[in-house]
Amino acid sequence: MDVVVNWTGRSACQLQEALRDTNEAFAARLGIGLRTVASWHKSPELVPRTEMHQLLDQALETAPPAAQKRFALLTAEPSSQAAAVQALRVAIAVVVRGAEVLLVCRRDDESAGIRWQFPAGVVKPGGNPVSAAVRETLAETGIHCAIREDLGGRLHPATGVWCRYYLAEYLAGEARNQDMIENAAVMWVPRNAVPRFIPVDTIFPPILATLEEPQND
């Protein structure tokens, strides 16, 4: 098991993801307030207080072996992953427009099915993931957006692909399916309805925290 020398909001959230805890369950596991967990999602670079380090250490040490392995993968940088894992990097845009978020429905020939995701694009070697996220969103959906926040990165639990997530603001355009080969549909959905389209245990926790934030009228 890897030892965490200095915890940050990001590594604490990665531990939460490895344990597959909701914000409420993670707060209860550590015996802390829900607002503290929310603050880690809001500020990934935040360094928790000393007593929080001890609670996080204990949660990691007592976690099941499978969760410890997931945590090790989540906290590893792409450069330290095996070659097969780092062969593909993807930039993902979580585009919000008021109380709505943009989703695309992928065609999945291998399983003869379709699945909903956030707009995403492959990052070429030496490429800029921010540019890739904006460019591919426009190419796939016809939506112009601007990146507002880097939500962090992880190895996707289902695909094993290294993903970088960005919160993006809608600027202009009408949502439409511009890639009929790869996508089946494009649509805006209410923020609180996203788990109806994407399994909640596969959604990056900082995305859930962002979508759950109250909206100003």
pLDDT for position 85: 44
What is the CATH number for 122? 3.90.79.10
pLDDT band at 78 (very low <50, low <70, confident <90, very high): low
Residue 1 belongs to some domain of the structure:
no
- 99 Cβ partners below 8 Å, 6+ apart? 190, 191, 215
State whether 156 and 61 are in the same domain: no
Residue 37 belongs to some domain of the structure:
yes
Contact 163, 90 (CB under 8 A): yes
Q: Tell me the residue type at 103.
A: L
Q: Per-residue pLDDT tens for 134-175? A: 999 999 999 999 999 999 888 877 777 888 999 999 999 999
Rounded Cα–Cα distance for residues 125 and 96 (Å): 28
Mean pLDDT to the nearest integer, 188-217: 85
Domain limits at 34? 9-75
Q: Which of 75, 103, 127 is at the close of a domain?
A: 75
pLDDT band at 81 (very low <50, low <70, confident <90, very high): very low
Q: Which of 33, 55, 75 is at the close of a domain?
A: 75
Q: Which of 75, 98, 131 is at the close of a domain?
A: 75
pLDDT for 122 beyond 90:
no
pLDDT for position 177: 93
Residue 2 belongs to some domain of the structure:
no
pLDDT for position 147: 94
* 194 Cα distance to chain centroid: 13
State whether 94 and 159 are in the same domain: yes
Q: Tell me the residue type at 191.
A: R
Rounded Cα–Cα distance for residues 38 and 16 (Å): 12
* Count of structural domains within the chain: 2
